Chain A
Amino acid sequence: MRTTRIIVSAALVVAMAAAATTETAAQEADEAQVVRVEVNPSQLTLQVGEKGRITATAYDADGSVVDVPFLFFSRDGRGRLAVDRNTGEMEAFKGGEYTVRARALVPSRVGGTATVTVPYPPLDRVEISAAGGRFYSGVMVRHTAYAVDQAEDVRDLAVTWVTSDESVATVDRFGVFHAHAPGEVTLSATVEGVVGRIAYQVIDNPVTAIAVAAGQARGRTGDVVHFTATPSAADGSPVDDIPVTFGLIADPDAIATGDFPPAEVDSRGRFVAYKPGVYTVTASVPGHTAHATVEILPRHVVEEVSLVGHAPVRNVPTSDLWVWEGVDGRDYAITGTHRAHGSTYWWDVTDPANPVLTDSLVVDARTTNDVKVSEDGGVCVISREGASNRRNGIVILDCTDPRNIEIISAYDDELTGGVHNLFIHDGHVYAVNNGVRFDVINIEDPANPHRVGRFELDTPGHAIHDIWIVDGIAYTSNWGDGVAVIDVGGGGRGGSPENPVLITRFRDIGGATHAAFPYKSPTGRFYIFMGDEIGAPPFDGQEIGRTPEFMAGYIHIVDFTDPENPEEVARYEIPEAGSHNMWIEDDRLYAAFYQGGLRVVDISGELKGNLYHQGREIAVYKAYDPDGVVANAPFTWGPQMHKGNLFFSEYFSGMWAVKLEPRRALIP
């Protein structure tokens, strides 16, 4: 009651009546003087499906009962033990030991707890992660057992593995099943007396030889080399269904103690090296091993970066950019602003060394986060957040003459939550709305925009952050829901702007998808680059406006060549910063990494592993501006390649343009 007493004492002096009114409840509660709460019973056992109840009683210092309301709940019982918050009645759904709190709704904040034990019900079954069937002698495969109880709860319990005939096969305590000789054998996993079984028929290993071939004899760091193993029988016929184990003998040119592994090979024989050297990949089946060696050379992709120009914005943070060829044939850029005054800037970047501010516009907003231009270069659309009337939405502009930007219309119907990102595709604006869905706004007549469709995931707690569209397919970034691929007219699933149709969805490792960029590689593979956005509360004592910011996260690279079976195959993760927006063109990833600056990465060929360690980084550029919003603090927001110049927006300093200098051939 420390501060309240300060208020009360002051109020007594100045306005007795005031204190009497505002402090009534506190005084009454003080009078109650609840010092102890007893929960009865304090220990309770319920069977699954059984109901029970606890009660709580409050006492004052004299031991007298005080009549106060209670709030009952259980944090660790969430989803497992239902608790009626008013009555203390409970129903057990799954086994476990739970703490149920009875919070007295009084100022002393006292409460009591009861321990509710719900004995786990008997196990219903034990499931094994394989179906059984034919198995070759000599082969080893690890199995996993899942113990499921009668409440459909998968339990973490000790498993005892046995085989029915150890002369045929044995199994260790980790479930590694090893076949020794032909015969029928049952693999059993026993958990608390419940047994799960699968039957194997072990047959002679027909393999008499194995060969392995590397897809190429020489490669560079980061190249994915496919090793193909061919086990064969005595008659020379291939044996396709025997598991092959790939191993690696590494001889890198140089390695330091504690360094990351110089190369890796996976269960499908896909190999990638992080360091130059000579690597021997082994392919083994029981009794037979083959090997093949590949030479890995340095990738040698580093290029010089030269500064071309800077369009400074030094009074407010800059957000997204878009660079395009205007209808007059000159080149222009548009940049938005963040936590500012609703301003947007247009630049003539025909001479990127000397960007010229052509026009600016202030709309009722604090953030114009996203800025996009129609395919024909005539219509600009900017997003609004922080409008004073809280209606936000989008603003549609005539930018045929970027020296004279004119507002054509504004559209905010049901877009009031703030449009954070948008995309223009074929006469429609796809506007991310309120963080939960995208709306499709027809702007074929930009003076009369109208909604024609919308799309929202149906997963629990779904969210959306960004959208990108290529050839009638939308790629949305959905935080914990990953990336969603949606047919909006080009996906062959009957989708249209009026009727977006979900094609597939993929959640990457981590689940912080902030931006996604699709890329059809010349290899024929189709990748989606999924960028995280991960932050943390600011450090205590930071001086706002004078301290650089820090972000984390990385780019996940997912092979979507088979959209029904996407596979996360690679990443671009740098240790010192997190990812933001990106652009991909001609086998190059241009990625903004906040305090890590602008990164240019060679993504040619097949991708595997962490590209950061593979010598694929072509360039890193950090834009330092001593006069920036925060001085000398690179915080790269978004890149775009345009006619050979790499433009990018910097949060603290505006738009920059750099140029990559082609590598010069070595002269022996």
Chain B
Amino acid sequence: MQPAITAALLAGLPAHAAAQSYWAYVAAESEDEVALLRYDAGGDLTVEKTITTGWLVAEIEAPHGLAMDPVGEYWYLTLGHGFPNGRLVKYETGSDTVVGVADLGLFPATIAVPPHGTVALTVNANFHGDHVPSTVTIVDLETMFPVAEVVTCTMPHGSRFNADGTRHYSACMMDNQLVEIDGATLEVARRLDLVANEPARAPIEGHMAMAPPDGHCSPTWTTPHPDGRRVFVPCNRGDVILEVDLERWRVTRRIEAPGAPYNLDLTPDGTRLLATLKGSAQVGIWDVETGRLLHLVDSLLRVTHGVVATPDGRYAIVTVEGVGGDPGIVEVIEIESGTRVASANVGKQAGGIALWKMEG
């Protein structure tokens, strides 16, 4: 009998639940580490391995975004700080050794890898530089060659492909835009001004953007719905999650999300919307159909960051940055009940997260 099943039986849980194990990588931005964690359903969340990232032990290189190769052979990591540009690093899963590196732009953040797995689109968020339009770098993942940089907007973030890889979305934290890139041509297809709720123009390159005033959007993420008809975008400064209808190319619904929503994910069946609420140190779970808030789950520490739903839709795995010397925390929340079922400490400022595999 497998140990996980034994534990589940002892806990009085259904055996089929205990058979599942979920593996995730989590980046600790102020520790220059990535942790590989395993959660056995109904059991513990365990740090299986810690991988030191970066080149210079004496400098913080800020591992930020994580993404998986769709077939699970590799994982990808952005390093925010370089000389001065950041990097995309390709690791082999299992051995967790570096097998490739590509140069990116200023403070690259989120990575999106489409289902075909041949390229990565990484947003050069340039969080800390002048508020001028930045880029999305297209990297060929076999050669790790940065093929092109596509100018999108100021402080792009939340890079995500839709389910079939035909469209890529990113948000512009300083321009209040949602940008759609064609998955075939890898060119910007259209833009939406999330505040005016109308198609937008490209920001003028080299010109400074004004920081969005309080009460406006400052979108930080994009999550396409698996039905292919809509994208969810959190307004980090607006305490609302926007639903964008892709056919009409308009915001068609506003879901109240107090607490500065930051990262999103959807359960694979598209019925539950998950959001980290960075300001209130919580995780919100909504019914997508009704927009009703189902659960508001307090985190163990402040500054909730990343969230992914497990492929079976049962759990949300959440990263929590903490403050100062706090450890980063990874929490597992059962979506249906809205209860935290496990947690584990990792390196400081846990942020980026990617689910590697589900076994069992």
Contact = CB atoms under 8 A, between A and B. Distances in A.
Interface stretch (A14-22, A39-47, A223-231, A442-450): A14-22
B127 A101 contact: no
A30 to B, nearest CB: 10
Contacts of B164: 24-25, 28
Interface stretch (B52-60, B238-246, B247-255): B52-60
Most buried by A among B30, B52, B114: B30
A365 B324 contact: yes
B359 A6 contact: yes
B175 interface: no
B101 to A, nearest CB: 10
A535 B82 CA distance: 12
B78 to A, nearest CB: 15
Nearest to B20: A10
A417 B270 contact: no
Interface in B166-220: 183-187
A620 interface: no
Given A101-B140, A105-B118, A339 B83 contact: no
B264 to A, nearest CB: 15
B114 A25 contact: yes
B114 A366 contact: no
A200 B302 CA distance: 78
B331 to A, nearest CB: 17
Interface residues of A, number: 83
B226 interface: yes
Contact of A19 (B129, B227, B268, B359): B268
Nearest to A13: B16
Interface string A474-510: 0000011000000000000000000000000000000
Most buried by A among B60, B95, B303: B60
Contact of B324 (A104, A105, A341): A341
B70 A4 contact: yes
B345 interface: no
A69 B184 contact: yes
A628 interface: no
B26 to A, nearest CB: 15
Contacts, number: 232
B61 to A, nearest CB: 10
Nearest to A110: B118
Given A11-B311, A339-B30, A21 B58 contact: no
A3 B72 contact: yes
B231 to A, nearest CB: 14
A550 B55 CA distance: 11
A544 B35 CA distance: 12
Interface in B56-110: 56-60, 70-73, 81-85, 93, 95, 97-98, 106-107
Nearest to B54: A537
A2 B93 CA distance: 12
Contact of B72 (A2, A85, A362, A534): A2
A339 B55 contact: no
Contacts of B29: 386
Contacts of B70: 4, 26, 107
A73 interface: yes
B119 interface: yes
B71 A551 contact: no
A25 B115 contact: yes
A388 B118 contact: no
Interface residues of B, number: 80
B313 interface: yes
Contacts of B357: 3, 6-7
A106 B116 contact: yes
A365 B349 CA distance: 10
Given A85-B147, A86-B186, A436 B356 contact: no
Contact of B314 (A14, A385, A480, A542): A14
A633 to B, nearest CB: 12
A169 to B, nearest CB: 49
B268 A22 contact: yes
Contact of A3 (B33, B312, B349, B356): B356
Interface in A80-118: 85-86, 101, 103-107, 109, 111
A86 B187 contact: yes
A544 B33 contact: yes
B311 A7 contact: yes
Given A6-B358, A26-B70, A551 B226 contact: no
A49 to B, nearest CB: 23
Interface of B: 16, 20, 29-33, 50, 52, 54-60, 70-73, 81-85, 93, 95, 97-98, 106-107, 114-119, 127-129, 138, 140, 142-143, 145, 147-148, 163-165, 183-187, 226-227, 267-270, 302-303, 311-314, 321-326, 348-349, 356-360
Given A22-B268, A107-B70, A417-B127, 17 more contacts: A10-B312, A11-B268, A25-B165, A107-B115, A109-B142, A342-B325, A363-B324, A366-B348, A385-B60, A386-B30, A390-B127, A435-B83, A462-B84, A463-B82, A463-B83, A479-B83, A551-B57
20 contacts: A4-B72, A14-B16, A14-B313, A15-B313, A18-B267, A18-B313, A22-B163, A25-B163, A26-B115, A105-B165, A111-B142, A316-B325, A386-B348, A386-B349, A388-B303, A463-B83, A537-B52, A540-B95, A544-B33, A594-B58
